C-alpha cells in the first residue's frame, strides 16, 4: 500500500546529491501545532495553564522527539524538515499558517499529538494538509496519539498513527514503504485504515536503550538551519533565542507511577514499556559536547538521574567532571536525596540548580498521588544538603487539584512555603504554586480509575477533550473535578494561593515591588475574566455570546501569560548562544559531514 512514488533516489549522482543537500526540498515535513489552532481569531481568553513551563498557553514548545525522528530520516537519506507553526503564529501576527502549509512541497507530512492540549490544533493542521495536499499521507505520533490511536485514525485527515514512545525505526520503515514498493502491513507499531477497516499492527519496536537514538538531536536542528534556510521555524519556543535552554534526555519511561501522570503504569499499559530505557552516561556526555559547541546557556537534565541507579548517576558525574563545562546544569529530583549526591554534582559542574516537585505539603496527599511517601523533614534535609553543596537555585513546585486535597490543603501550601523560607532562611529556595491543568494525562491511574483517586472526569474521548479546548476560559476548559474541589474551587484556590505566594516572595525579597504589582494586576484581571465569562454563559443567549466574549479578548489581548508568576522567574541565568558566526560554522561543518556520509 503506497500513496505515491517520490523523486527521492538514494543512488543519485554526486552533483544531484550536492544540490539536494545545499538547496533542500523536504521529503517529509513535521508540523508542530498550537494548542488551539485559530487562537488568534477566537474569543478564547486563556488563563494560568502554562505559567510554570517555558512555553505559553499556546504550548508552542514541540516534543524533543521530533528532532530524533527527523534526524533518523536524514540519516536514511531523506530530507526532513520541522516547522513550528505554533511559535510562528504566536510571534508573528502576520504569519499565515495555511499559506505556509499550502506552499509546502513535501511528499509526507507528520504531526505530533504528544500532549493532549494539542488535540484541537493537531486535527486542524491535519485538515489543512489534506485540503492542500489531498494525496499526501498524514502521519500522527506521540503519547496521546498512541492512547487514542483507534479514535484518531477515524478522522478523515489522518492516514497513519505510529504508536509507542520510540518511533524512529517505524517512521523510517513507514516512509520507505510509502515512497517505494514496501508494504505498510510490515511496519511495527502502526495503526492505519485499509479498505475502510482499521488495522493495528503489533507494537513490537521498543528499544531497550537510547544509545542508537539521537534525542534530542541538536545536530539535526543546527544542520537544518542551512538546509532549509530558516532558523526561526525550527526554534523550540518563544524567547528561545534570547534565553536558550537545551535538554539531555536520560530515559524514556519512568520508575514512578504518579496518579495524574502515570509514568510506569501508563508506559507499561499504553506504550508496552515495562521499564525505562536509558541513554548511557557516555552518550549523554557526547550530547553535552554537542550542546556546548553552540550554547553557553543552561542544560536541563530530563528525569532524575538516580532512576538509572546510583552507579549510573555516579558514572555520569565522573565523566562530566572531566569535561570542564561552564554551562549551568539543571537537575530534576523525583524525591529526597542525600548530601553525597549533591557532593557528586558540585564536584562535576561549575554551576547547577534543582527542580523539586513535592506537589503537596501534606505527606498523605503525596502518598495518595503516588509521588513519594516521605516526611517533610526529609524534603527539608534535601534542600539544606543541596544548598550546602553549591546549589545556586531550587525551584519547589506545589500543585492545586490533587487527590483528596481540600481547599484548605491547596492554599495551605503557602504556609508551608513560608516555613521553608523562614526556617531554611535562604533566598535560593523559590516556591511556586499552580493548578494541575488543564487535563489528566490519558493512561494515568487517575484517568483510568478516577473514583479510586477522587477524580470526576469531564472528558474521556479525544473529541471531548478537543471540544473542551474551545471553551472561553481556563475554568471551563478543565477536564476534571475532584471529590473535594469543583472547578470553581480549583479556580478560587489557584487565585488565593497565587496571590498569597507572590506576596510571601515579595516579603522575602524574591520579587521586587514592580513585579509583584504586575502579578497582582494580572491576577485581578484573570479573576474578572473568569467571572465575566460565567456571567455571559448564564445571562446571554447562545447566539449573542460570541460578540461579548470577543469584547473580553479585545480588552485584554495579552491575558493568560504569566498571570500567577513573574515572567522571568522560571528562566535560569543565561549566557546565550556562542554567537551566530560560531553557530553558522557548526552548521556548515555538520552539513559537510552529512554530504560526505551520503556520498
Q: Which domain CATH number covers 156?
A: 3.40.50.2300
**Could you tell me which residues come within 8 angstroms of residue 387 by beta carbon, excluding any fewer than 6 positions away?**
394, 424, 426, 428, 429
**Could you tell me which residues come within 8 angstroms of residue 375 by beta carbon, excluding any fewer than 6 positions away?**
363
- Picking from 115-119, 177-181, 587-591, which range would have the lowest pLDDT averaged per residue? 587-591
Single residue among 209, 226, 257 that ends a domain in this structure: 209
Mean pLDDT of 136-157: 97
Do 280 and 195 share a domain, yes or no? no
Do 150 and 272 share a domain, yes or no? no
**Which range marks the domain in which residue 430 is found?**
244-456+570-576
Do 279 and 161 share a domain, yes or no? no
Instruction: Name the pLDDT band for 370 (thresholds 50, 70, 90).
Output: confident
Q: Which domain CATH number covers 317?
A: 3.20.20.70
Q: What pLDDT does 2 receive?
A: 34
- 237-252 pLDDT tens trace: 777 777 788 999 999 9
Q: In this model, does residue 184 exceed pLDDT 90?
A: yes
Do 191 and 254 share a domain, yes or no? no
Do 362 and 249 share a domain, yes or no? yes
Q: In this model, does residue 13 exceed pLDDT 90?
A: no
- Picking from 11-25, 26-40, 104-118, which range would have the lowest pLDDT averaged per residue? 11-25
Instruction: Name the pLDDT band for 97 (thresholds 50, 70, 90).
Output: very high
Q: How many structural domains comprise the chain?
A: 2
Do 264 and 376 share a domain, yes or no? yes
Percent of the chain exceeding pLDDT 90 equals 66
CA distance 453 to 259: 7
* Model pTM score: 0.89
Task: Classify strands 160-162 and 138-141 as parallel, antiparallel or unpaired.
Answer: parallel
**Residue 2 placed within a domain:** no
**Residue 468 placed within a domain:** no
The residue that leads in pLDDT, 469 or 19, is 469
Find out whether 45 and 37 touch, Cβ atoms under 8 Å.
Answer: no
Alpha helices in 65-167 (DSSP H): 65-75, 85-91, 97-103, 119-132, 143-147, 149-152
Instruction: Name the pLDDT band for 39 (thresholds 50, 70, 90).
Output: confident
Mean pLDDT of 94-107: 96
Question: How many C-beta atoms lie closer than 10 Å to residue 309's C-beta?
Answer: 11
The residue that leads in pLDDT, 502 or 575, is 502
CA distance 327 to 501: 30
Instruction: Name the pLDDT band for 263 (thresholds 50, 70, 90).
Output: confident
Do 83 and 202 share a domain, yes or no? yes
Single residue among 209, 233, 258 that ends a domain in this structure: 209
Q: What pLDDT does 147 receive?
A: 96
**Residue 515 placed within a domain:** no
Do 200 and 276 share a domain, yes or no? no
Instruction: Name the pLDDT band for 11 (thresholds 50, 70, 90).
Output: very low
Find out whether 122 and 85 touch, Cβ atoms under 8 Å.
Answer: no
Do 51 and 166 share a domain, yes or no? yes
**Residue 312 placed within a domain:** yes
Instruction: Name the pLDDT band for 235 (thresholds 50, 70, 90).
Output: confident
Quick one: CA torsion of 221, 225, 226, 229, rounded to 10 degrees? Answer: 150
Do 250 and 381 share a domain, yes or no? yes
**Residue 334 placed within a domain:** yes
Percent of the chain exceeding pLDDT 70 equals 86
CA distance 32 to 218: 17
Q: In this model, does residue 533 exceed pLDDT 50?
A: yes
The residue that leads in pLDDT, 43 or 258, is 258
Do 201 and 336 share a domain, yes or no? no
Q: In this model, does residue 10 exceed pLDDT 70?
A: no
Q: In this model, does residue 464 exceed pLDDT 80?
A: yes
Q: Tell me the HSE value of 460 on the side-chain side, using a 13 A CA sphere.
A: 6
Instruction: Name the pLDDT band for 552 (thresholds 50, 70, 90).
Output: confident
**Residue 532 placed within a domain:** no
**Residue 499 placed within a domain:** no
- Picking from 13-22, 48-57, 328-337, 382-391, which range would have the lowest pLDDT averaged per residue? 13-22
**Residue 563 placed within a domain:** no
The residue that leads in pLDDT, 588 or 7, is 588
Q: What pLDDT does 404 receive?
A: 92
Q: How high does pLDDT run on average in the chain? A: 87
Instruction: Name the pLDDT band for 571 (thresholds 50, 70, 90).
Output: low
Do 158 and 274 share a domain, yes or no? no
CA distance 375 to 259: 19
Q: In this model, does residue 193 exceed pLDDT 90?
A: yes
For the sheet containing 246-249, what is the strand order?
A: 246-249, 299-302, 328-333, 351-359, 394-400, 429-435
CA distance 152 to 145: 7
CA distance 113 to 285: 30
Q: Is the peptide bond before 438 cis (omega within 30 degrees of 0)?
A: yes
- 481-532 pLDDT tens trace: 999 999 999 999 999 999 999 999 999 999 999 999 999 998 888 898 899 9
The residue that leads in pLDDT, 42 or 208, is 208
Instruction: Name the pLDDT band for 479 (thresholds 50, 70, 90).
Output: very high
Instruction: Name the pLDDT band for 598 (thresholds 50, 70, 90).
Output: very low
CA distance 279 to 253: 12
Find out whether 392 and 429 touch, Cβ atoms under 8 Å.
Answer: no
Q: In this model, does residue 17 exceed pLDDT 70?
A: no
User: Which phi and psi angles does 112 have, rounded to 5°?
Assistant: -90, 130
Angstrom distances, CA of residue 369 to CA of 65, 317, 445: 28, 31, 9
Q: Tell me the HSE value of 364 on the side-chain side, using a 13 A CA sphere.
A: 4
Q: Is the peptide bond before 216 cis (omega within 30 degrees of 0)?
A: yes
Q: In this model, does residue 561 exceed pLDDT 80?
A: no
Amino acid at each position: 500500500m503506497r500513496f505515491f512514488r517520490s523523486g527521492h533516489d538514494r543512488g543519485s549522482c554526486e552533483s544531484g546529491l550536492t544540490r539536494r543537500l545545499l538547496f533542500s526540498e523536504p521529503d517529509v515535513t513535521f508540523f508542530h501545532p498550537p494548542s488551539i489552532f485559530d487562537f488568534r481569531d477566537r474569543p478564547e481568553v486563556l488563563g494560568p495553564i502554562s505559567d510554570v513551563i517555558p512555553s505559553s498557553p499556546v504550548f508552542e514548545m514541540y516534543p524533543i522527539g521530533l528532532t530524533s525522528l527527523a534526524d533518523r530520516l536524514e540519516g536514511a537519506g531523506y530530507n526532513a524538515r520541522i516547522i513550528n507553526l505554533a511559535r510562528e503564529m504566536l510571534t508573528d501576527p502576520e504569519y499565515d499558517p495555511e499559506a505556509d502549509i499550502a506552499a509546502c512541497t513535501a511528499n509526507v507530512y507528520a504531526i505530533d499529538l504528544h500532549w493532549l492540549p494539542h488535540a484541537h490544533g493537531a486535527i486542524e493542521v491535519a485538515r489543512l494538509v489534506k485540503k492542500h495536499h489531498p494525496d499526501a499521507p498524514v502521519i500522527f505520533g506521540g503519547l496521546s496519539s498512541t492512547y487514542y490511536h483507534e479514535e484518531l485514525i477515524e478522522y478523515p485527515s489522518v492516514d497513519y498513527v505510529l504508536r509507542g514512545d520510540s518511533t524512529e525505526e517505524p517512521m523510517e520503515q513507514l516512509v520507505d514503504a510509502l515512497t517505494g514498493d514496501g508494504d505498510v502491513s510490515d511496519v511495527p507499531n502502526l495503526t492505519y485504515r485499509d479498505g475502510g477497516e482499521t488495522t493495528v499492527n503489533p507494537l513490537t519496536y521498543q528499544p531497550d536503550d537510547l544509545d542508537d537514538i539521537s534525542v534530542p538531536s541538536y545536530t539535526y536542528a543546527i544542520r537544518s538551519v542551512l538546509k532549509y534556510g530558516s532558523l526561526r521555524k525550527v526554534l523550540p519556543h518563544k524567547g528561545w533565542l534570547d534565553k536558550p535552554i537545551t535538554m539531555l534526555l536520560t530515559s524514556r519511561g519512568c520508575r514512578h507511577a504518579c496518579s495524574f501522570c502515570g509514568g510506569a503504569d501508563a508506559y507499561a499499559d499504553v506504550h508496552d514499556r515495562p521499564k525505562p530505557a536509558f541513554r548511557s552516561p557516555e552518550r549523554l556526555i557526547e550530547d553535552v559536547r554537542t550542546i556546548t559547541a553552540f550554547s553557553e546557556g543552561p542544560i536541563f537534565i530530563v528525569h532524575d538521574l538516580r532512576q538509572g541507579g546510583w552507579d549510573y548517576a555516579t558514572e555520569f558525574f565522573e565523566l562530566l567532571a572531566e569535561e570542564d563545562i561552564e554551562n549551568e546544569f539543571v537537575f530534576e529530583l523525583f524525591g529526597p536525596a542525600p548530601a553525597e549526591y549533591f557532593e557528586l554534582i558540585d564536584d562535576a559542574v561549575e554551576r547547577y540548580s534543582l527542580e523539586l516537585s513535592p506537589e503537596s505539603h501534606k505527606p498523605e496527599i503525596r502518598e495518595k498521588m503516588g509521588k513519594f511517601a516521605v516526611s517533610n523533614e526529609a524534603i527539608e534535609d534535601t534542600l539544606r544538603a543541596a544548598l550546602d553543596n553549591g546549589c545556586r537555585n531550587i525551584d519547589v513546585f506545589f500543585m492545586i487539584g490533587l487527590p483528596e486535597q481540600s481547599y484548605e490543603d491547596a492554599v495551605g501550601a503557602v504556609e508551608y512555603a513560608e516555613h521553608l523560607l523562614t526556617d531554611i532562611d535562604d533566598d535560593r529556595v523559590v516556591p511556586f504554586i499552580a493548578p494541575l491543568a488543564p487535563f489528566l494525562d490519558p493512561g494515568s491511574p487517575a484517568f483510568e480509575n478516577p473514583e479510586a483517586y477522587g477524580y470526576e472526569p469531564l472528558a474521556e474521548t479525544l473529541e471531548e477533550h478537543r471540544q473542551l479546548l474551545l471553551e472561553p476560559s481556563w475554568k471551563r476548559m478543565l477536564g476534571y473535578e475532584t471529590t473535594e474541589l469543583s472547578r470553581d474551587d480549583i479556580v478560587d484556590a489557584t487565585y488565593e494561593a497565587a496571590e498569597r505566594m507572590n506576596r510571601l516572595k515579595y516579603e522575602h525579597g524574591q520579587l521586587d515591588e514592580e513585579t509583584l504589582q504586575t502579578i497582582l494586576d494580572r491576577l485581578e484581571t484573570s479573576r474578572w475574566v473568569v467571572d465575566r465569562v460565567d456571567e455571559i454563559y448564564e445571562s446571554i443567549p447562545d447566539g449573542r455570546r460570541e460578540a461579548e466574549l470577543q469584547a473580553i479578548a479585545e480588552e485584554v489581548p495579552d491575558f493568560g501569560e504569566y498571570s500567577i508568576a513573574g515572567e522571568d522567574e522560571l528562566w535560569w541565568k543565561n549566557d546565550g548562544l556562542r554567537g551566530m558566526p560560531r553557530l553558522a560554522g557548526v552548521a556548515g561543518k555538520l552539513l559537510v559531514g552529512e554530504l560526505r556520509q551520503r556520498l
